[in-house]
Structure 1
Amino acid sequence: MKRITRRTMIAGTALSSTAAFLPFKFAIAQNRPIKLGVMLPYSGTFARLGKNIDDGLRMALKENGNKLGGRDVEYIVLDDESNPAKGAENANKLVARDKVDCLIGSVHSGVAMAMVKVARDTNTMLIIPNAGVDTATGEACAPNIFRTSFSNWQVSHPMGTAALGMGHKRAVGVSWQYAAGQEQVKAFAEGFASGGGKIEKEIYLPFPAVEFQAILTEIAGIKPDVVYAFFAGGGAAKFVKDFAASGLGRSMQLVGSGFLTDGTLEAQGDSAEGLQTTLHYGDELEIPKNISFRNAFKANTGRDADVYAVQGYDTGQLLLLGANAVGGDFSAKQKLIQSMESATIDSPRGAFTFSKSHNPIQDIYLRKVVGLSNKVIGVAAKAVVDPARGCSMAT
């Protein structure tokens, strides 16, 4: 046996005490910040949307000392340019080169699906703060993927039933030719047809084209009761203005999911007045959390909050709940995921929980544009759960 000296006894006691309370590898990891790979559009059609998500995310973490589970936070920001062709390459850079602990993104559904593939392949945590592509929490669902926004079905299907309640029987759907546009139009059509409504035609144009004259002429020839449109950002601003200028509003009603008017009302001006949409958020929700959030966002950015800011903020809240539960150890993935699955988010939209596919379970509001506000005039559907078609976790 080796001789035990006072020095070796003290050293051994110190090492065993440290090991008992803190794994060596984790102790080293604690010396570096948690890396968040934020992949959003900071240029192009969706630039303003990306900026508001980013600012909302940072505000949530700033309210908690800019720490996650006691660790500092490092933002590694990448402009995805709303370009799906670069999506996988960009996401892989964040994971392989920058060694991020969590991916956050994006707005464009095509980009988000590229991020979903990378997250699944590398088992990297991914939080989607906007893109509503149904597949992300449907066929491609995974334990390490969460969404803090909505699914396309979730915000569009209720407008189909709401349009029936307005007395409409014949509809046309119009959007860009990509996953979000097609899924939203089809979800509206599903809700509309469920009560006997008829979809006369679905019309699509390439993303991000904003030359709408030919489409408006085609709609005029069909003469529907109601037009359902999905556009966002600069495209939404222009479509609403062009629709109003065409005079079609005198013979048919324009409706949409809330992205048609969120973050775009100032640019749309009087063209948007009275327009009705469905969404999981409304500017003037009389919820204490919403009032305090909007005041804080305005003070921090000088801008009014919108749904994108809310979704960024709630992404930060989900990160905080998960990271605090594991003491900042993102390698404790099972416990991290379990804590996020059971989370209740105190959101400006109203408190929500997560479905088995990791999509929010939330109320969908009916809103009406009044001046520069999306005023909530009712609840189109309560506690809506996305059907998560094809998700093995939801069965």
Structure 2
Amino acid sequence: MSPTRRLVLSRSAALVGAASSGLLLPQLARAQGAKVRVGFMLPYTGTFAQLGVAIENGVRMAIAEQGGKLGGREIEWFKVDDESEPAKGIENANKLVQRDKVDVLIGTVHSGVQMGIQKVARDSGVLTLIPNAGVHAATRALCAPNVFRASFTNSQPTLALGQAMVAKGHKRAVWITWKYAAGDEAYEGFKDSYTKAGGTIVKELGLPFPNVEFQALLTEIASLKPDAVACFFAGGGAAKFIRDYAAAGLKDKIPLYGSGFLTEGVLDAAGPAADGIITTMHYSDSLDTPRNKQFRLDYVKMFRSQPDVYAVQGYDTGLLLAQGAKAVNGDLTGNKPALYKALESATIDSPRGKWTMSKAHNPVQDIYLRRVENKENKVIGIAAKALSDSGAGCKMG
């Protein structure tokens, strides 16, 4: 007999003995009244620190609106700074799962770190909610019954971009990005949507992440004379690309398009150079709906800062968790089939608009067409209704 099987049998015997002597009843009662252990694995230092804080704020706000409990149970919170360091992904996830014994792990921002979390989630079976990282594998080839995403896949925003560009008459485009997973996956969405709409990609340009020496590539774009440029950049690098694009004299000659992350949180840094840029994204600060206005008002009251897309994704993660917890009275480990069914069938009434969960556990959501005007991403239309990621290669089981 294997040691593992022997251990299981001896534990079972002990439980039977305990039950017959009445010892198990207090243990069960204690389990039913136990606090829900919620673990955050997010970046709290480094480049993405603000994103981690916004996500945590959003989660806490959503749960506060539900009375500060999950399925009627008190909550115990745990936090690990993942430092946006992929090499520490597995180790950090295990701190929450093995050391802190969390019932749910919420993480993370960086796609490379998410791959570490994904391994631990698949190995341990712990409920895992992804509030940002768009890496395809998490809801494609490496999908799992216990992993749900409340954000996007890297190709989802750009999957809505091609049709919008061709509709504007831009039939020859250059694509430019950092050469890393997020950039490659964003390109997949753009290539698919743009070529299907009848566009031709003249050239695909790239540079190593996080390099921001764009000059040589901008010179090449000028010589190629495309109808438009489409791109994927984010953060400080995006702000510099926008400024450099304008400084190279391209802003008024060749329209610039991108995945919405190009203009998220960087409009102050980019300045007037960003005016007129068109992006596709599953949210906009300026979304003119009562739901979004109320959310923004409540967030400012609670945190004294303006919410962004990361805060919304955190908030929706909290709403999703609350729905799942309600279905199982806060017991996230005792009845997993009922928990997963509740999460899979959830409709989230989000500031971004209502969304549902795909079979591969990724949001099915509207993608908005936005144009930068006076340091704001103004919604000018819906680029795609109820857009779903392909979920290619996902086999639940």
Normalised by the size of structure 2, how large is the TM-score? 0.90
Deviation at residue 341 of structure 1 after TM alignment: 0.8
Aligned to 1:58: 60
C-alpha deviations, 1:94-119, integer Å up to 9, x for none? 11111111111111111112211110
1:267 to 250, 266, 269: 269
Amino acid at match of 2:106: I
Aligned to 1:328: 330
Pair 1:371 & 2:379 matched: no
Unpaired runs of at least 5, structure 2:
1-18
CA distance in structure 2 between the partners assigned to 1:227 and 1:115 by the alignment: 35
Task: Say whether the 8 Å CA contact 2:282–2:352 is kept in structure 1.
Answer: yes
C-alpha deviations, 1:48-106, integer Å up to 9, x for none? 22221121111111222321112222222222222212212211221111111111111
Deviation at residue 28 of structure 1 after TM alignment: 1.9
> SS of 1:392's equivalent?
coil
**Distance change (3 Å), C-alpha of 1:247 and 1:337:** same
Aligned to 2:9: none
Task: Say whether the 8 Å CA contact 1:175–1:230 is kept in structure 2.
Answer: yes
CA distance in structure 1 between the partners assigned to 2:389 and 2:343 by the alignment: 18
Aligned to 2:235: 233
Deviation at residue 215 of structure 1 after TM alignment: 2.8
Amino acid at match of 2:376: S
CA distance in structure 1 between the partners assigned to 2:25 and 2:255 by the alignment: 63
CA distance in structure 1 between the partners assigned to 2:317 and 2:357 by the alignment: 13
Output the aligned Cα RMSD.
Answer: 2.1
Pair 1:306 & 2:308 matched: yes
CA distance in structure 2 between the partners assigned to 1:264 and 1:389 by the alignment: 33
Amino acid at match of 2:388: V
Amino acid at match of 1:369: V
Unpaired runs of at least 5, structure 1:
1-14
CA distance in structure 2 between the partners assigned to 1:208 and 1:73 by the alignment: 38
> SS of 2:156's equivalent?
helix
2:360 to 357, 360, 363: 357
Amino acid at match of 1:28: R
> SS of 1:383's equivalent?
strand
**Distance change (3 Å), C-alpha of 1:329 and 1:187:** same
Deviation at residue 211 of structure 1 after TM alignment: 2.9
Count of aligned pairs between the two proteins: 377
Pair 1:387 & 2:390 matched: yes
CA distance in structure 1 between the partners assigned to 2:386 and 2:329 by the alignment: 31
Mean CA deviation greater in 135-144 or 211-220: 211-220
**Distance change (3 Å), C-alpha of 1:65 and 1:251:** same
Mean CA deviation greater in 123-132 or 232-241: 232-241
CA distance in structure 2 between the partners assigned to 1:35 and 1:243 by the alignment: 47
CA distance in structure 1 between the partners assigned to 2:25 and 2:363 by the alignment: 35
Task: Say whether the 8 Å CA contact 1:110–1:178 is kept in structure 2.
Answer: no
Aligned to 2:6: none
Aligned to 2:4: none
Aligned to 1:121: 123
Task: Say whether the 8 Å CA contact 2:251–2:273 is kept in structure 1.
Answer: no
Alignment of 1:287-306 (within 5 A): 287-306=289-308
**Distance change (3 Å), C-alpha of 1:209 and 1:41:** farther
**Distance change (3 Å), C-alpha of 1:75 and 1:218:** farther
C-alpha deviations, 1:184-205, integer Å up to 9, x for none? 0121011111122111222222
